[in-house]
Amino acid sequence: NAGVTQTPKFQVLKTGQSMTLQCAQDMNHNSMYWYRQDPGMGLRLIYYSASEGTTDKGEVPNGYNVSRLNKREFSLRLESAAPSQTSVYFCASSGLLAGGKDEQFFGPGTRLTVL
Amino acid sequence: GENVEQHPSTLSVQEGDSAVIKCTYSDSASNYFPWYKQELGKGPQLIIDIRSNVGEKKDQRIAVTLNKTAKHFSLHITETQPEDSAVYFCAARLGSTLGRLYFGRGTQLTVWP
**Residue in B42, B47, B52, B100 to test binding to A, most A beta-carbons within 10 Å:** B100
Encode pLDDT of B70-90 as tens digits.
999 999 999 999 999 999 999
- Contact at CB, B99 and A94, closer than 8 angstroms: yes
Cβ atoms within 10 A of the Cβ of B37, count? 20
At B92, the pLDDT band (50, 70, 90 cuts) reads very high
Encode pLDDT of B13-59 as tens digits.
999 999 999 999 999 989 899 999 999 999 999 999 998 888 899 99
Using CB atoms within 10 A of its CB, is residue B43 exposed (0-12), middle (13-18) or buried (19+)? buried
- Contact at CB, B43 and A102, closer than 8 angstroms: no
User: Which residues are registered as beta bridge partners of B60?
Assistant: none
At A40, the pLDDT band (50, 70, 90 cuts) reads confident
How much of chain A is helix, strand and coil, in % rounded to 5?
A: 5, 55, 40
User: Which residues are registered as beta bridge partners of A42?
Assistant: A38
Encode pLDDT of A44-95 as tens digits.
999 999 888 899 999 999 999 999 989 999 999 999 999 999 999 999 999 8
